Every structure is written in C-alpha cells, then in structure tokens.
Amino acid sequence: NAGVTQTPKFRILKIGQSMTLQCAQDMNHNYMYWYRQDPGMGLKLIYYSVGAGITDKGEVPNGYNVSRSTTEDFPLRLELAAPSQTSVYFCASSYNSQGDGTEAFFGQGTRLTVV
C-alpha cells in the first residue's frame, strides 16, 4: 500500500494563478481531510469529506474548493492564488465506523509558495 499520496511536492504560483493539489489514498478510507500548516504553527482544517459525493467546510475554507467523486481521490482546488495561501498542505485520510475517531494518515505534504 502506498498510503496517502500527494502531488506535487513543491509548487510556486504567481498571484492570481490557479492550481489543483492532488490527493489519493489506497486504504479504502471513507474520511478524507485537507489541512494547511503555516510555518511554526499547527494544522488548520480546510475541507473534509465523510464519503464520496459529500464534502464540508473546515475552519479555513475561503479561497479553496474540493470535490470527492471517488473514495480514493480528494483534490483541492486553489482559485486566484494569494500570498496568504503560501503554506504546506497536508491531505489525510481515516477509516471511521460506528462514529468514533481513528488514526488519520497523512500524505507527505505539498509546499506551496505564492509570489
């Protein structure tokens, strides 16, 4: 199993450009998440999904969009990139049954710089 795979690992965007961060998991996890981590800070939730076709906003969703058309993939779309979106982005997934939390597995991260 590859676990959670994110692409690309690094990206530099110009202000106003758009891009999609890819995330795929092969563990048949139903829950998937996108977090951003600013330098020296904790992780903040952008969006999450509890299953294919279902997405919901987290703490910092502005400027981002997501979709979940399959169990495996959860891409994050940045429209009109701004310097404030310079961060490290982590995708994570977990398997949740009976409602209780379980271990979230993280991808290796995408380091995004907006100039």
Partner 1 sequence: GENVEQHPSTLSVQEGDSAVIKCTYSDSASNYFPWYKQELGKRPQLIIDIRSNVGEKKDQRIAVTLNKTAKHFSLHITETQPEDSAVYFCAASMSNAGNMLTFGGGTRLMVKP
| Nearer to partner 1 (CB atom), residue 2 or residue 14 | 2
56 binds partner 1 (CB under 8 A): yes
Whether the Cβ atoms of residue 90 and residue 38 lie closer than 8 Å to each other: no
Binds partner 1 (CB under 8 A): choice among 64, 74, 89, 90: 90
The reply on whether position 39 binds partner 1 by CB under 8 A is no
Q: Which of 44, 52, 67, 72 binds partner 1 (CB under 8 A)?
A: 44
Q: Where are the beta strands (DSSP E) in the chain?
A: 4-7, 10-13, 19-25, 31-37, 43-51, 54-57, 64-66, 76-78, 87-94, 105-106, 110-114
String of contacts with partner 1 for each residue 5-34, x by CB under 8 A: --------------------------x-x-
Q: Which of 17, 2, 3, 4 is nearest to 112 (CA)?
A: 17
